[in-house]
Structure 1
Amino acid sequence: MVLPDKRPLILASSSPRRQEILRNLGLDFSVKVSGVDESFSDGLKPAEIVELLAERKVASVSEEVSDGLVIGSDTIVVLNNQILGKPINLEDAFRMLMSLQGSTHSVFSGLTVMDVRTGRKLTGHVETKVTMRGLSESTIKKYIATGEPSDKAGAYAIQGFGAIFIEKIEGDYFSVVGLPIRLLADFLNDFGYPILEIGQRS
């Protein structure tokens, strides 16, 4: 079998969850944090927001490298058309978790992959439905005390202690973690970078 040229992969994110996903696929990659402004205009739909921010991260990092495929992703939690970002303090985390408990919300993850050499890019998103079981105030406070919710959209981590609160999900689990693997695999394959072949060489 003739394997494709192994171009560098650059992840435009400092997220340890996204890095772990790529490592678990056996991929070699470097990390460059974009540091871009993550604000957005009012009136944008959740899918538009995550795609916009993923593209913005990739554009920023692409200016710093001369070759490779840059991967950018952004994730938000949406409940009743309200966007729940990362909590600003403990009280905010408590408010978010109280609103999410006993209900179903959506997690949107946007993804962009760009070939720096050609400027070609692919952008898309995945929506996953997550149902959280009912939680008592004391349980929520104990969870917040672990420190896990502090830097997570929606104030919970599905891959951590937060997993015990999840009743069911409909869609891509990895999208909720922060990086939609199926969509990423499709994009990389389109760029001639099949994960199954490249990962085996790492």
Structure 2
Amino acid sequence: MRIVLASQSPSRLSILRSAGVEPLIHPAHVDEDALLADAPADPAATVALLATAKAEAVAAEYPGDVVIGADSMLLLNGRLQGKPHTVDATIARWGEQAGQSAELLTGHCVIGPEGRREVATSTTVVHFAAASPADIRAYAESGEPLECAGAFTLEALGGWFIDRIEGDPSSVIGLSLPLLRGALYDFGYSVSQFWNR
């Protein structure tokens, strides 16, 4: 039995590898814009919907394995924000969030053998530094935050600009190990049986 990660996120892969798991990578291709157009009003339900779509997109190909889908978005001033994609959008985002606090929501869908599933959303409060305009521009131009929910990372250059978090650090990076552990336990598995040996 393997863990299958329905994502091409290097951060999610790094979390699992650091935790002793070498997952099979099978990125899910879903129409996120279409899903967001019909998404529920509740932000936590929205990220859970995206995570579920990703897990379901690949689960049928791995009926005997554990498939993980995840999606993260930043809830800032009542609005969900995904990846900025461009330098200019990243700078604009940081113009809003520098010196502020926001919630990073990470939806998870874990599908196990026989179609068993766990769906949950982890919420972590992120306190952003009052970064200087020069540092914001340099960070955006580094390319690092362009494909990251909330236009930041915790574990790399972005760590300079996060004052503190309240909640699960692994969830901020992209995948909650506590939520994943709980799902595996509910399915009747031990975490250690997935470790590289």
Q: TM-score, normalised by structure 2?
A: 0.93
Q: CA deviation at 1:90?
A: 1.4
List per-residue Cα deviations over 1:95-122 (Å, max 9, x = no partner): 101111001010000111112x411111
- Give the counterpart letter for 1:138 in structure 2: A
Distance in 2 (CA, whole Å) between partners of 1:32 and 1:42 is: 24
- Name the SS for the 1:118 alignment partner: helix
- 8 Å contact 2:55–2:69 — kept in the other structure? yes
Output the CA distance in 2 between the equivalents of 1:25 and 1:169.
21
CA distance in 2, matches of 1:42, 1:61: 21
- One-letter amino acid of the structure 2 residue matched with residue 11 of structure 1: L
Please, which moves more after superposition, 38-47 or 89-98? 38-47
| Whole-angstrom CA distance in 1 between matches of 2:172 and 2:184 | 20
Query: Is the Cα contact below 8 Å between 2:73 and 2:106 reproduced in 1?
Result: yes
Q: CA deviation at 1:44?
A: 2.1
Q: What amino acid does structure 2 have at the position aligned with 1:33?
A: P
Q: Which residue of 1 aligns with 2:29?
A: 35
Q: Identity over aligned residues, as a percent?
A: 34
Structure 2 CA distance for aligned equivalents of residues 64 and 50 of structure 1:
23
Higher helix share: 2
User: Looking at CA atoms only, which structure, 1 or 2, has the larger radius of gyration?
Assistant: 1
Alignment match, 2:168: 172
Q: What is the aligned length?
A: 194
Task: Write out the 4+ residue segments of structure 1 that deviate beyond 4 Å after TM superposition.
Answer: none
Query: Partner of 2:105: helix, strand, or coil?
Result: strand
1:101 — aligned with what?
A: 98
The letter of the residue matching 2:52 is E
Residue of 10, 24, 28 corresponding to 1:16: 10
Q: Which amino acid aligns with 1:139?
A: D
Note the residue ranges of structure 1 that are not aligned, 5 or more in a row: 1-6
Counterpart in 2 of 1:91?
88
Mapped partners of 2:126, 2:192: distance in 1: 29
> Which stretch of the first structure deviates more once superposed, 65-74 or 53-62?
65-74
Once residues 37 and 95 of structure 1 are traced to their aligned partners in structure 2, the CA distance between those partners, rounded to angstroms, is 25
Tell me the equivalent position of 2:63: 66
1:57 counterpart (48, 54, 58): 54
The residue type paired with residue 141 of structure 1 is R
Q: What do the CA deviations read for 1:20-67 (whole angstroms, capped 9, x no partner)?
A: 111111123201111111131255211001110111001100122332
SS at match of 2:80: strand
Alignment TM-score, normalising by the size of structure 1: 0.91
Question: Using the alignment, how far apart are the partners of 2:165 and 2:62 within structure 1?
Answer: 37
Superposition CA RMSD, Å:
1.4
> Does structure 2 retain, via aligned residues, the 8 Å contact 1:126–1:180?
yes
Is the aligned partner of 1:148 residue 2:165? Answer: no
Distance in 2, matches of 1:191 and 1:14, equals: 25
Q: Distance in 1 between matches of 2:39 and 2:184?
A: 32
How far, CA to CA, are the matches of 1:9 and 1:155 in structure 2? 28
Distance in 2 separating the partners of 1:189 and 1:43: 29
Q: Which runs of 5+ in 2 are unaligned?
A: none
